[in-house]
Amino acid sequence: MSAPGLVSLVGAGPGDPDLLTRRAAQRLAEADLVLYDALVSPATLALATRAQRFYVGKRCKNHAMAQETIHRLMVRAARRGCRVVRLKGGDPFVFGRGAEEALALQAAGVPFEVVPGVSSALAAPALAGIPVTHRGVAAAFTVVSGHDAATWQPIVDALRPGSSTLVVLMGLGSRAAIAAALQARGWAASTPCAVLLGASTPEAATWTGTLDRLGEAPIPEGAADAPGTLVVGEVVAVGDRLSGRTPSEEPAAVTAAGAARRHSWQR
Ligand SMILES: C[S@@+](CC[C@H](N)C(=O)[O-])C[C@H]1O[C@@H](n2cnc3c(N)ncnc32)[C@H](O)[C@@H]1O
């Protein structure tokens, strides 16, 4: 290969290839090597028609490859003149270790670029009709990782009740703890909440309810592995209105089909 190599840190968006940027699609089409993460959809990968593709992802505690090995692979391929796409779900700089990889490439003197993607922090709410800001309702939104209480707890504790929409990535497993922490901070039990699973994928499912019920929001059968985003704030009620989900004071009655009411799953 004669042209100098390049590593593109590419955001794949929430899953549906229609939500890729044009630049992301172009880099995939031109790539020699694609190193992809867990939440990248097969349909998106299929756009890399001429590339060798390697899964290097991590989900929960399952790491396909050590971070340093990923760095070495990218550096070695780029030095051989390859066009490398490092493909990450959503945006590469949102909870994706994209900047760590950029720093490693910079330290190795390898040319790289960042191709932003549509983060699930925005796409999952938007696809469920939920605006993260809305005039007179929410003037800010806060995005946290629910992976580790040591990181989300101080942020939740600092948020005045209702002062910001709260979006939680990697928070399905800690939804009860987050709901309890918010209520302890003074957020009303009736604050609208959403759990958004597999946004933009055929498995997409939406639950909306209230903060006091968030911890109990059951995950539908077959969706245990789906990625999920939580949204807490009055904007969820705006989403219910926009999407025709009818609020109900009834407790959760979950069906696969999802009756059209609050506290239920909808597909
Ligand atoms: C490691 S973080 C990476 C976030 C990614 N960089 C982004 O900007 O979307 C993975 C988390 O993103 C969220 N997520 C990713 N894809 C999603 C989807 N299609 N629907 C809902 N949430 C999603 C989930 O909270 C998942 O646990």
148 is catalytic: no
CA distance 176 to 168: 12
Ligand 1 contact via 228 beta carbon (within 6 Å): yes
Distances (CA, A) of 222 to 169, 197, 203: 20, 11, 9
CA distance 87 to 124: 19
Ligand 1 contact via 124 beta carbon (within 6 Å): yes
The helix (H) or strand (E) run that includes residue 68 is: helix 67-79
The confidence score (pLDDT) of residue 218 equals: 87
Task: Kindly indicate the confidence band of residue 252, based on its pLDDT and cuts at 50, 70 and 90.
Answer: very low
Ligand 1 centroid to Cα of residue 225, in Å, is 12
Q: 65-91: per-residue pLDDT in tens? A: 888 999 999 999 999 999 999 999 999
Task: Kindly indicate the confidence band of residue 59, based on its pLDDT and cuts at 50, 70 and 90.
Answer: low
Q: Whose CA is nearest to atom 21 of ligand 1?
A: 228
Instruction: Kindly tell me if the per-residue pLDDT of 124 is higher than 70.
Output: yes
The confidence score (pLDDT) of residue 153 equals: 97
Catalytic residue, candidates 37, 88, 91, 240? 37
Read off the pLDDT of each residue in 81-109 and give the average, rounded to a whole number. 97
CA distance 165 to 57: 29
CA distance 262 to 61: 33
Q: 197-218: per-residue pLDDT in tens? A: 999 999 899 999 999 999 999 8
Q: Which amino acid is at 106?
A: Q
Instruction: Kindly tell me if the per-residue pLDDT of 62 is higher than 80.
Output: no
The confidence score (pLDDT) of residue 250 equals: 36
88 is catalytic: no
CA distance 229 to 175: 10
Q: Whose CA is nearest to atom 12 of ligand 1?
A: 169
The confidence score (pLDDT) of residue 52 equals: 97
Distances (CA, A) of 71 to 106, 108, 157, 253: 11, 9, 36, 47
Contacts of 103 (CB under 8 A, 6+ apart): none
CA distance 140 to 137: 9
Lowest mean pLDDT among 83-87, 95-99, 112-116: 95-99
Ligand 1 contact via 229 beta carbon (within 6 Å): yes
**Best CA proximity match to 5, nearest among 95, 64, 85:** 85
Distances (CA, A) of 208 to 18, 109, 133: 26, 48, 17
The confidence score (pLDDT) of residue 219 equals: 87
The confidence score (pLDDT) of residue 60 equals: 58
Q: 130-150: per-residue pLDDT in tens? A: 999 999 999 999 999 999 999
